[in-house]
Amino acid sequence: MNPFIRQELDRKTAAFYDRHYSILDWKLLNYSDWFYLGDEHRKKCRFCGRSEGDGATFNNIAHCFPESIGNHFLASYYECDTCNSFFGDTIESDYGNYMNLYHSISQVKGKKKIPDHISNDRKSKITQCSGVPILSVVGNDEEDEKDLNIYDTLHVSINGNHIEYEDVAPTHCPIAVYKCFVKMALSVMPEREMPVFTDTIKWLKETRHSNIFKYKKLLCRYKFIPGYNTTKYPCYWLFKRKGVSQCAIYPLYVFCITYGNFSYVIEVPITSELNHSIKDVPFPPLPFFTESDDYLDLSSTSKISDYKQKVCLTVSGGFKEVQPEELPEAILDKAKIK
């Protein structure tokens, strides 16, 4: 039995969602073959409005979520090759940069493999060899490499059986990361709901980013899920608020995506929505034991290159110092920062 799996959902939170929200869609992406959303014989892009009759092509696999999150089976006929390429080169690229450390340390298999994470100063590396995670650090010179305290001066600190790793994320635009979450939500949104997202789609495709909301920040809630391979497969939920909009006190659409060691929740924006916040709703009930949730403010429209990220890992049994000559050649080769 996995000690990080909850046998029962939090009843209070589940009752809140039963009362205030309907589930529009949800899936656990544990398929053994491709699963497509939409009509293969009537392909029409929901992001530009063009169909095959209008000259749009649908030759490439349009992943509903980026492959970088471990989505290797959910695709759609809703996205043409031009829009697919545009999103891949823009917001999905920013998302991949922002999540690189988390994807590497959670061992989330991307397009080809689990990504390595090499620090910006090239003094540390996270990789894996035969399913075993490897964290390596190097000093500035030979004296540093002999000094056992180099961990304290670089990216790693060790306290008992805890490792804390900190690094600066690759350059990315925070609002583009938020847009990538929104694009995921719209990729699985039922067709009947799409008319209210006309302005949202225009906003997604802006090359000069702006905040779609006038009076509130673009917040993303998240929770850390402890354990190794606890979630196993990406899973998502798409909620729509019940009741009359004029009397509403909660966001209309809520999207939750869970994979690796994290779960993320956003409000799927529409321009006519009132000044509600994702803070007004509890985190959706998850079948995992999690840490308390926190918030990311992804409102900034500027590229940033100094954003620090930190992860803390617990290793049972503590640590043992091993000399390089004691390690197999395959591990030494993977640990090298080339």
Question: 114 or 255: which carries more pLDDT confidence?
Answer: 255
pLDDT digits (tens, 9 = 90+) for 25-59: 999 998 888 999 999 999 999 999 999 999 999 99
Which pLDDT belongs to residue 243? Answer: 80
Of 193-197, 289-293, 317-321, which gets the smallest average pLDDT? 317-321
Question: 247 or 141: which carries more pLDDT confidence?
Answer: 247
- Reported in sequence order, the residue ranges of the chain that DSSP labels E, i.e. its strands, are 21-28, 35-37, 62-63, 74-76, 117-118, 124-129, 132-137, 156-159, 162-168, 219-224, 235-241, 253-259, 262-267, 294-297, 308-314
Which pLDDT belongs to residue 247? Answer: 63
Rounded to an integer, the average pLDDT of 104-109 is: 88
Which pLDDT belongs to residue 148? Answer: 43
pLDDT digits (tens, 9 = 90+) for 199-220: 999 999 999 999 999 888 999 9
Q: What is the DSSP string of 193-219?
A: GGGGGHHHHHHHT-SS---S-SSS--E
Quote the tokens at residue 50. Answer: 């063009």
Sign of CA dihedral 6, 285, 282, 254: positive
Q: The pTM is what?
A: 0.90
Q: Strand 74-76's sheet: what is its strand order?
A: 35-37, 74-76, 62-63
* Beta strands 74-76; 35-37: pairing state: parallel
On whether the CB atoms of residues 220 and 265 are closer than 8 A, the answer is: yes
Question: What is the DSSP-derived secondary structure letter of residue 168?
Answer: E
Residue 245 — very low, low, confident or very high, per pLDDT cuts 50/70/90? Answer: low
Residue 153 — very low, low, confident or very high, per pLDDT cuts 50/70/90? Answer: very low
Look at residue 304 and give its three-state secondary structure.
strand
Which pLDDT belongs to residue 2? Answer: 56
pLDDT digits (tens, 9 = 90+) for 110-144: 888 889 988 888 888 888 887 777 888 775 544 44
Q: What percent of the chain has pLDDT over 90?
A: 55
Question: 67 or 10: which carries more pLDDT confidence?
Answer: 67
Decide if pLDDT at 188 tops 90.
yes
Rounded to an integer, the average pLDDT of 239-255 is: 85
Rounded to an integer, the average pLDDT of 94-121 is: 89
On whether the CB atoms of residues 29 and 74 are closer than 8 A, the answer is: yes
Q: At what angle do helices 174-187 and 91-105 cross, to 10 degrees?
A: 90
